[in-house]
Amino acid sequence: MNFIGTARRLSLDDFVRGARRIGCEVAALRSVAAVEARGRGFDAQNRPIVLPEVMSSFATSRSPSARKR
């Protein structure tokens, strides 16, 4: 994939605007960003960090025992 953008870190103002837009506290939004983006958001090649979802992995697994979870 070819991502376009500067891959800059979010500022406190960015978090404030985002939290206001979705109606949550800034601390909640920062917590999600820290966990879901490993605290960075972008890798060494300026690509967005996308963590695999464990539940999605179980759902698409061919293993019958994994599908029961």
Residue 26 lies in a domain: yes
Residue 66 lies in a domain: no
Structurally, the chain folds into a number of domains equal to 1
Residue 61 lies in a domain: no
Read off the pLDDT of residues 3-33 as tens digits, 9 standing for 90 and up: 777 778 889 999 999 999 999 999 999 998 8
**Statement: residue 2 has pLDDT above 90:** no
Structural domain of 38:
8-42
| 13-to-9, 19, 20, 42, 48 alpha-carbon distances in Å | 11, 10, 11, 19, 20
Residue 56 lies in a domain: no
Residue 67 lies in a domain: no
- Provide the whole-model pTM: 0.60
| Amino acid 28: pLDDT | 95
